[in-house]
Amino acid sequence: MEVKITDYLDNDDIREIVEAEFRRSVRNMFDNENDTVRIINNLTHQAIFKEVDEIVPNYKEKINEKVIKELDTISIYHLFRKKDVWEKANSIGQDLLEESIDNNKLIIDNKVKEIFNALSKTDIKYDIRGILENYIEKLFENESEASKWFH
């Protein structure tokens, strides 16, 4: 059985229902503050990008080219710099690195245990011997330190 809406409603009634539903739908979109902010932000960005594109044609490509050029000049110091006396905050890369380490502590801990368990006693013996040799060499490089041990 096929129901024809026009058998029950005329065009004015259908138009009125559609308009009422459209208004209700739009009103519902703006009832949620987050959706309202998102919609306004999207509209604002579209308007701004259109204006900027008229003033500076191909601005996105120009920005991308400049970013790529500047990335070539960035050193590891710029990416991973801890907050210190002169710096007010960590670099973004340092914050991301620390966050990644915090989020993956269990994985890192398990990997360290796996590596340690895979070491043989001989490996450990040579590692400890190397550490002690380096320490003793450094002691003798600084004679005043060495004299503390032998006087």
More confident residue, 29 or 46: 46
Phi and psi torsions of 83, nearest 5°:
-60, 135
pLDDT at 149: 57
Range 8-21 average pLDDT: 91
Note the residue count of the chain. 151
Interatomic CA distance for residues 120 and 21, integer angstroms: 75
Query: Which residue spans within 13-125 are E strands per DSSP?
Result: none
pLDDT band at 101 (very low <50, low <70, confident <90, very high): very high
Widest distance between CA atoms in the chain: 114
Q: Is the pLDDT of residue 151 over 70?
A: no
pLDDT band at 15 (very low <50, low <70, confident <90, very high): very high
